[in-house]
Amino acid sequence: MRYDVEELYDYDVLRSLTEPTMFVVRISEPTFILGGSQPLTVFDQEKVSNALYRRRRGGGGVVLLQPDDVWVDWWIPASDERWHKDVHESSVMVGEWWRKALADQVKSELLVHGGVMEGDPSLRVACFAGKGPGEVFSDDKKVVGVTQWRVREGIFLSTVLHAAPSQPILGVLASVPDGLAEALEHHTLESLGITDSEAVVDSLRHTTGDWRFRQLYLNA
């Protein structure tokens, strides 16, 4: 296993952006993403030796990103009116964007978690096993995960609606806490009945304000 983990983005470039920017990202192969402060020791060295992995900046645990995920990120400069000093308020704002964008395609009720981080701390090794501010839920299962990275130049908010289950995370962890498998049972595009993910992206793009729009294709 290598000890220097390539970062998911070039974060210095992000910090230099002066325009509010919306990113829609596709990844070529399933990739495990470490949280900003997570040690590599959360992975079993033998199990993950042939896997692809990267590190993001910001909080949270391991996330499995896959090619058909609806992965949308926003860079909000500190000069933009959508920038909020309050961490909680920023996350809830993005969660509400998602809830509204999904309302036309999802029949069940969608709720944005407005409280503090919830869930067994031992399960937070995997990001989708907890309940954080701004995250979207339906029938008490997570629909959209939210993380953020804050610097003096602005806020980077990262979100994903998964196309497939996150259970493969269990197969690469050095230790699997009791209850993690059940906690990772989140919604997917299929379970929500979403057949047009591009319409969701279009809604997010056109109803959340003016953005420089960029599509990224990352070859893991």
pLDDT in tens, the chain (220 residues): 344 688 999 999 999 999 999 999 999 999 999 998 898 899 998 887 667 889 999 888 999 999 999 999 999 999 999 999 999 999 999 999 999 999 989 999 999 999 888 888 889 999 999 899 999 999 999 999 999 999 999 999 999 999 999 999 999 999 999 999 999 999 999 999 999 999 999 999 999 999 999 999 987 5
Q: Could you give all domains of the chain from N- to C-terminal order, each with its CATH number?
A: 11-218 (3.30.930.10)
Type of residue found at 45: Q
Count how many Cα atoms sit within 13 Å of the Cα of residue 75 in the half-sphere of its side chain: 22
**Residue 163 buriedness (CB in 10 A; 0-12 / 13-18 / 19+):** middle
Q: How far apart are CA 128 and CA 124, in angstroms?
A: 8
| Residue 7: DSSP 8-state | B
* Nearest one of 164, 163, 169, 128 to 146, comparing CA atoms: 128
